[in-house]
Structure 1
Amino acid sequence: MRALTRFNATLARYGAYFSVAGLLVIVAIVAFQVFGRYVLNSSPTWTENLALVLILYVTLIGAAVGVRDAGHIGMDSILILVPEDPRRIVEMVVHVLVLVFGIFMVWNGWVLGMSVAPYKLANISLSEGWRYVPLVLSGAMIILFSIEHLIALIQRTEVEPAWH
């Protein structure tokens, strides 16, 4: 469990760094697009599609990090009123459902990405399949993080957030 926790904490930390860096790159791309449109009167054609692809990476990787560090919206206020044993069972069910969702993300992201891989995105000559890579990566991260949460619940411990 300790090795999985270390690995997941590192993965979550770098996932958050990647998401923040990606957000900064998106801001720079959009600023360049606005500069090109209104100052140079010649908007770059590649900026919009690249920003849209990067948004997928930022949001999906960031969402996976939120699953590990409990940054997602939860029903904690209701679960606090429930005794510990039933609460643990409900939390386990939630993490199993999230794990299954991660499996579907990986599988369907892979299938969809492979089905559109031969096609190119307009103006950036990048395969359409790159749009589905963050879905597969995020799903794999969610699976790992859900397994860690389930083990922690079984052992009656807490998953320490990546930032501690």
Structure 2
Amino acid sequence: MNDLSPAPATRGPVYRALDLASRLCITVAGIQLVTLIAIFGWLVFGRYVLNDTPTWVEQAALLLVVWITFLGGAAGVWNKAHLSIDFLREMMPLPIRVPLRWIAVIGVIIFGCYLAWQGYELSDKTWRRRIPMLGIAEGWRAVPMAICGVLSVLFSLYHLVTLARGQDPLEH
């Protein structure tokens, strides 16, 4: 933590709420990952021991992977652990580095808005179809995309405010 970052005890309710949302994403994605492993265990058991392959496992796995990926991606935006090539930016002198940080955060906001919009559109357009073998709405595959977009925007707006205050958003 640098000198500009607030100590954990002094962080405000917005920070705590966003951090809680990120932790919730990680927790839900973790539970889904354990579920994914368990259902693949059931697939192997059913196929090789019972000689009766559970056909729903593939569709459930595809659904879980989408949720795990997007929830983890949203949490990555908050924790600044998402895919980025920041080592070049951070090697630059401060007068160049600061505007590049602004551009990066604004870029994530724009991408998050687009992701939320397209996730909503895709979910809305596919809601009436059913996922084979599961019988639930196909739109559930796009819901995590919209959630990730909204959370990425919220997390990045917080990082933008942190930058505007002259603090380093790369540090929590």
**Normalising TM by the smaller chain, what interval?**
over 0.9
Q: 1:4-43 counterparts in 2 under 5 A?
A: 4-43=14-53
Structure 1 position 94 matched with structure 2 position 94: no
Aligned with 1:61 (options 65, 71, 77): 71
Aligned with 2:124 (options 105, 114, 125): 114
Shift in Å, 1:89: 1.0
Q: Which residue type is aligned with residue 98 of structure 1?
A: V
Within 1, Cα distance between the matches of 2:73 and 2:50? 37
Identity of matched residues, %: 30
Report the counterpart of residue 165 of structure 2 in structure 1.
155
Question: For structure 1, which runs of at least 5 residues remain unmatched after alignment?
Answer: none
Q: Which residue type is aligned with residue 20 of structure 1?
A: G
Deviation per CA, 1:52-72: give whole Å up to 9, x if none: 101100011101111111112
Task: Supply the RMSD in Å over aligned alpha carbons.
Answer: 1.4
TM-score, normalised with respect to structure 2: 0.88
Deviation per CA, 1:20-67: give whole Å up to 9, x if none: 111000000111011101110001121111111011000111011111
Report the counterpart of residue 2 of structure 1 in structure 2.
12
Q: Which residue type is aligned with residue 74 of structure 1?
A: S
TM-score, normalised with respect to structure 1: 0.92
